[in-house]
Amino acid sequence: MTRRTIWWGDHDEVVVIDQTRLPHELATVEWRTLDHACHGITSMQVRGAPLIGVAAAHGLALALAERPTELDEAIRSLTGTRPTAVNLRWALEQMAEQLGPLPVDQRAAAARGLATEMADHDVTACRRIGEAGVGVLADVHRRTGRPVQVLTHCNAGRLACVEWGTATAPVYLAAQQGVPVHVWVSETRPRNQGASLTAWELADAGVDHTLVVDNAAGHLLREHLVDLVIVGADRIAANGDTANKIGTSLKALAAREHGVPFLVAAPWSTIDPRCATGAHVPIEERDAVEVLELAGRPIAPPGTRARNWAFDITPAELVTGYLTDAGHLTPAELRARRADDGRVEAPGTAPGTAPGTAP
């Protein structure tokens, strides 16, 4: 992995890959203000829970470079951009904790440094997620003697993070280690992140893959064409319930019915110990036009009503295991690692540093 999704430009601007223009064009966009960052997150120039958190940290750094006294106001603006992804809140809370006590004239430089550290930590965490899962793929290959068949949903790849990705990290590491892998990519209506983003990045990495419609998952599982389902997460509740892109829970149900392991890949910053169960996760509802139109053209009769929930909840009992930067954990092991003080920290992590990394 060499291409990052977010970085600092030569003139103190934040540069991001504009994911709204993929797969047709690999282009970047520059953020120079807080408003640019908020728009970039809301419009999904950047998306994916880990990347949203890192992007929010960079947006806060831009805000403080302009108005270092308005820390709280900038945090409020960024917090409202995407309500389901807990990484955004985690990143901003970490920034506030460290920037709040500083003299105003030191905040901008410190914020930039913290944002850069968070990006670097995300790369490390995702690599560790890959290391937690690559053995699972290798075991399947040794047992079957054929390419490992992985089903994924939405985009939990490197485009959803700074680098490596979560659900795709084991796939990329397996490919590097000579383990053959084929990925079934569900298109992920209505924004088609599977088709436009996951398929693009797998092709870019040279990983064998096939695009299918969302509702093909049950058929694939019934026909024994899938060895593992690996998805990402936007928020994991304290009991292990997982919020992820709408349609994830149906894949989990089908996987359970057909005896296929269902794995959730996420860094520790995605776990929310203050959220007891999935019932407490706020579910973002986006503009209905995303359902009613395709490429700007109506696909339903005039006057049709639509609802557009962006996420659903997969109960912990449907999850076989969690691939994290602290290792491959069962649901019981994940719950046992919750910190008593209301935070989730990877072993060896000091308060105020990114999860999954040493101080």
72 in catalytic set? no
In this predicted structure, the answer to whether residue 340 has a pLDDT above a threshold of 90 is no
The residue annotated as part of the active site, out of 122, 234, 272, 312, is 234
Cβ 255 vs Cβ 219: under 8 Å:
no
Q: What is the pLDDT of residues 25-81, one digit of tens each?
A: 999 999 999 999 999 999 999 998 899 999 999 999 999 999 999 999 999 999 999
pLDDT of residue 358: 27
pLDDT of residue 125: 96
Q: What is the pLDDT of residues 132-167, one digit of tens each?
A: 999 999 999 999 999 999 999 999 999 999 999 999
Q: What structural domains does the chain harbor?
A: 6-120 (1.20.120.420), 132-336 (3.40.50.10470)
pLDDT of residue 344: 43
Average pLDDT, the chain: 92
Give Cα separations from 137 to 114, 149, 158, 190, 227 (angstroms).
35, 9, 19, 30, 9
Helix (H) or strand (E) holding 121, with range, is helix 104-144
In this predicted structure, the answer to whether residue 23 has a pLDDT above a threshold of 50 is yes
d(CA 54, CA 8): 12
Read off the pTM: 0.88
In this predicted structure, the answer to whether residue 83 has a pLDDT above a threshold of 90 is no
Percentage of the chain modeled with pLDDT above 90? 88
d(CA 246, CA 167): 16
